[in-house]
Amino acid sequence: MPIRVRSLSCSFILLAACLLPALLVAEDWPTFLGPRHNSTSIETGLQVPWPKGGPEIVWQRELGTGYGIGSIANGKFFQFDRHGDQNRLEVLEVTTGQKLWQYEYPTEYEDALGYNNGPRCSPVIDEDRVYIYGAEGELHCVNIETHEAIWKRNLSEEYGVVPNFFGVGSTPVIFEDKLLVMVGGSPEEFKGLGPYQIGRVTGNGSAIVALDKKTGKEIYKISDELASYASLTLAEIDGRPWCFAFLRGGLLGFDPRDGAIDFHYPWRAKKLESVNASTPVVVGDEVFISECYALGSTLLKVKPGGYEVVWKDEERSRDHAMETHWNTAVYKDGYLYASSGRHSHQAELRCIDWKTGKVLWAEPSLTRSSLLLVEDYLICLSEYGALRLLKANPEKFDVISEVSLEDENGNALLKPPAWSAPILSNGRLFVRGDNRLVCLQVIPPGK
């Protein structure tokens, strides 16, 4: 019988895995990048290597328009996409892909640069509620039992958000009784401006808004920063909770209990069209951030009230340690793995030393990729649909298995852009291409 993990601490989970080796340690995946917000899984028993034709396809399903992948809790898969002029949350039976119910609302969002008009954020599941945040800025809290909205707010309209280049794309996080949301509103005087005027825009103290997760009422708001596309991440450092927000202009570190700001660290390219989109990586009391337009990466050591720079890429240098775009780096045993590069043709999968930023190896020609860490392996999904199993090896690029998923007629199942990071729950790997979700069995049942 599997252990169902929901809110237990990581230390307890790992202890259970050691003491009960005969049992499968399974966990839900209730939000973007998983329960620890870092694209890592604690599940064990991964099939290595994969069969010649790739892992078994359990089910597949055509999706609507969007860039995000779903979230999983209590045997249900929650997928948020656009269908025509409706943003739709579809709730599926996780073992079969069968649709159980849906919730939808109208949207008129149009992307300023011609990218697709669907949602960018993953659903956030908390007990009997699921939160969905659309590209137009509407936030809905939906009751999982009744399938009805508990509350909803148009945050972009309420807080005066000047549209960024790609709409809203930062997934909120749950902290205790609060839903922390990156909003980034502006004073009334900037109403009507568009993305190409965003350089003139200032904030109105709503970079981060904490809402009561059950009622939607504002608890606090902080910072004059504007929004980015990097999702929020939580951590506990020396017994104190932290939230890190990689905003349009840099990294904000604050106490999620009351919104008290510890520091703001400027980190953004000067180019108007540049965006920060990679979620911060937290290890101990250190935080890594990265962008791909000019600055590259930096590592900070944080403490209440401030920070110190451990290392940083030099702005004028072309030799940066890492330049993550919309993907998030993954940490393993003192090393960081990620796709580095703004464009497909220049992207490299890299391994760097966490403490120094030294590049240990770089593998070109994979295009931009997303990673998921499970045991000692990296599941790597390239934006053109290639799926690889790699050993997390700081000495070399170490490919164990590689597959391009196809249907019975030889047609590719994962069409570009495959920009969503893979997710793993109860032995099943979920990957998304442009318009299709595929469920694969990568941990044999009972292992």
Query: What tens digit of pLDDT does each residue of 111-154 get?
Result: 988 899 999 999 999 999 999 999 999 999 999 999 999 999 99
Name the H helices within 224-274.
Answer: none
Q: Does pLDDT of 368 surpass 60?
A: yes
CB 413 within 8 A of CB 406: yes
213/151 Cα distance (integer angstroms): 10
The contacts of residue 108 (CB under 8 Å, 6+ apart) are 85, 136
Given a cut of 80, is residue 15 above it in pLDDT?
A: no
pLDDT digits 0-9 by tens, 218-264: 999 999 999 999 999 999 999 999 999 999 999 999 999 999 999 99
HSE-up of residue 251 (Cα within 13 Å, Cβ side): 29
Per-residue confidence band for 447, with pLDDT thresholds at 50, 70 and 90? low
The pTM (predicted TM-score) of the whole model is 0.94
Distance CA 85, CA 435 (A): 17
> pLDDT class for 24, splitting at 50, 70, 90?
low
Q: What would the mean pLDDT of 81-103 be, rounded to a whole number?
A: 98
Backbone angles phi and psi of 355, in degrees to 5: -75, -25
The Cα angle at residue 43 between residues 39 and 48, in degrees rounded to 5 = 95
CB neighbours of residue 446 within 10 Å: 10
> Do 289 and 246 form a contact (C-beta atoms < 8 A)?
yes
More confident residue, 341 or 2: 341
For residue 303, the cross-strand partners are 306
Say if residue 2's pLDDT is above 70: no
Going by their DSSP bridges, the two strands 3-5 and 25-27 should be labelled as: parallel
Residue 385 in this model has a pLDDT that exceeds 90: yes
What six digits make up the tokens of 321?
């340690």
| Across 13-20, average pLDDT | 44
Whether the per-residue pLDDT at 18 is higher than 70: the answer is: no
Q: Which two tokens stand for residue 390?
A: 């790699």
pLDDT of residue 433: 97
Please tell me the distance from the alpha carbon of residue 320 to that of residue 328, in angstroms, as a whole number.
Answer: 16
Tokens at 75, concatenated? 């045997």
